[in-house]
Amino acid sequence: MKAFAELLDRLSYTAGRNAKLTLMADYFRAAPDPDRGYALAALTGRLDFATAKPAMIRGLVEQRVDPVLFGWSYDYVGDMAETVALIWPERPGANRPPELAEVVERLASASRSDSPGLVEGWLDALDATGRWAFLKLITGGLRVGVSARLAKTALAQLGDVTLEEIEEVWHGVKPPFAEVFAWLEGEGPMPRIDLRRAFRPLMLANPLDEAELAKLDPADYRAEWKWDGIRVQLAAGGGEARLFSRSGDEITQAFPDLMEAAQFDAVLDGELLVMRDGTVAPFNDLQQRLNRKRVTAKMLQDFPAHLRVYDILFHGEEDLREQGFDERRVRLEAWHAAEAPARIDLSPLLNFARWEELQALRDSARERSIEGLMLKRGDSAYVAGRPKGPWFKWKRDALTLDTVLMYAQRGHGKRSSLYSDYTFGTWRDGADGAPELVPVGKAYSGFTDEELLRLDKWVRANTTERFGPVRAVKPGLVLEVAFDAVHRSKRHKSGVAMRFPRIHRIRWDKPIEDADRLPTLEKLIEE
């Protein structure tokens, strides 16, 4: 556990990508099995401890520390793991420090009643840095500036393999990945997995720089709509089928209506949508189906799932990814005509000869409730990751709105001491006819580090109420917010929800009375 704690601590204070890669690669070389495998699982989000939740940890620390003192400390620090690690009263000699594998394996098999005793004993045995790393591990909130892809990139440095080869087997192996480390170190073969039902890393597009558009030959590219759903991969074969999100998380059980139609042998790349009578429903309807552990009959009826397919990666056991896009499209159309699966159709290709024609289609995307366009070279192989040149996304222009800052919350990790998460609202007529602010969104990006310091100072100087790590502020600052779309929402007091809001400009000079009103936002709702 000590080596893992040191790794997390150093990663949290290391900014450079290459330096982070070196830290992780050195750890993977030096740490023994199965510790390094569990560390890799933690860094890639492959661990989950059902019985070790923040509420349980808070209950443990409040048994030893005055709850009011802990509340004040948590409010100041802004991070649960860091607060508990620092405030926990030590009992020297209570236990020996645990090994990483011991923590993972014992907690994974522990009952809900046994887990508090295990956690308490380990907190007593560890020093402050060890407690912090331990709590980050079991709550899943590492926040050390490492993505799953970066961790796998570091892993690839252990052997003569590429990141793409690791991605190819990743979702067919499980922690602590003993066979993966044996393969990388030349002590075993490449792990064998059932390719028919495994996730393959997706090919991603680069944002289109319109200044470069004139340099491209329109004859080389194919265009299709960028549908407003979520990108998924459906892998079916051998009488089974699995549905994956773009990050490789399996979401099969949440969409039984779609999976019933997957009685074929192919791997498809497409967009998950809700459709009614052949019409794509707003993204907000799809959200009603996402992240559901239990799907009711009413959900299935009210929000029917549909897959709109972009590409075919495998047909039977034949790998089509090295073929060009045009060749794969011919295979896809032939496959769909032969299978005619329910709830699955093809994303149509758009006809154009000149970029000006495509520009006109893009300009119509918002009125069609579509995100924009995709451009794909006709000869492009299906390559994992985001290669430069073959595929581009040409999104519609963002919407903007002037809002008023209402609440601010402390951030996480390096931002834990700063108010960096902002809830903003628009004006509407209150019950008494006087104008009132109602929240319409929350954002934590779009500003520079210098602007963040100034925003944090303003929040502290204009606080009216405190709710733990959240502060209410007096109306006084206008934030120009950019967002992609707006939908109706029963969860928000305003009745609306923005999609992908981010701070576009901080309007220090604009009077709050001149900020936008709720009806302005409601007019933008995509029905």
What is the three-class DSSP state of 412?
coil
CA within 13 Å, CB half, 113: 0
Continuous segment of H or E residues that includes residue 84? helix 80-87
Cis before 176 (ω within 30): yes
Q: Which is catalytic among the residues 174, 226, 395, 457?
A: 226
Report how far residue 418's alpha carbon sits from residue 509's, in angstroms, rounded to the nearest whole number: 23
Place of tokens 């069609």: 368
**Which tokens is 336 given?**
């769909």
- Cα-to-chain-centroid distance, residue 140: 14
The DSSP code for 97 is P
Report which of 242, 306, 315, 231 is spatially closest to residue 270, judged by C-alpha positions: 231
Contacts of 516 (CB under 8 A, 6+ apart): 401, 402, 403, 426, 427
**Alpha helix segments (H runs only) across 288-370:** 297-302, 325-339, 355-363
**Which tokens is 514 given?**
């001149």
226 catalytic residue (yes or no): yes
Asked if residue 413 lies in contact with residue 79, where contact means CB atoms within 8 angstroms, the answer is: yes
* Phi, psi torsion values for 71, nearest 5 degrees: -60, -45
What is the three-class DSSP state of 7?
helix
Place of tokens 């089509």: 320
**Which tokens is 237 given?**
């074969």
Give catalytic residues, as residue numbers: 226
